[in-house]
Amino acid sequence: MKKFILFITLLFISFVSFSQETEIKDLLETQRQNWNKGDINSYMQGYLKSDSLLFIDRNGPTYGWQKNLAIYQKVYPDKTNMGFLTFDIKEVRMIDKTHSFVLGAWHIKTEKDEQQGYFTLLFQKFGNEWKIIVDHSS
């Protein structure tokens, strides 16, 4: 009986973890689709709308949702400059029931060039919604 209860418990934990991983991947797919539509504002909805949101790139750390939106709007002023974005999710690791770490690769193809790199994201669950709270992209 103890083995059966342990099995059911592990099965439930695996299902919850898989479900949360699916939610996170769905959020990233929604972001990718919004990017490819040229909709930077909708793309940014995957991030926590807070001054504590942290982006890290080759220029160092930048805090704040609004500040990073402004940076994106300056660097990618229109759909042509945004190009076509793809992700390759390498790993989704649940830290606990409200935090997750994601490792992936990104690729942007425009008419003029291609850019690519890697990202690590820290997600936090707020109620029923996952939001990115840290984005380290290179």
Average pLDDT over residues 39-54: 98
Contact 107, 93 (CB under 8 A): no
| Tens-place pLDDT, residues 82-131 | 999 999 999 999 999 999 999 999 999 999 999 999 999 999 999 999 99
Q: How confident is the model at residue 8 (pLDDT cuts 50, 70, 90)?
A: very low
- Summary mean pLDDT of the chain: 90
Separation CA 54–CA 115 (nearest Å): 22
Q: What total of structural domains would you count in the chain?
A: 1
DSSP string, 77-126: -SHHHH-EEEEEEEEEEEEETTEEEEEEEEEEE-SS-EEEEEEEEEEEEE
Range of the domain at 26: 2-137
Separation CA 46–CA 133 (nearest Å): 9
pLDDT at 6 over 50: no
Separation CA 40–CA 77 (nearest Å): 9
Average pLDDT over residues 44-54: 98
- Domain at 37, CATH number: 3.10.450.50
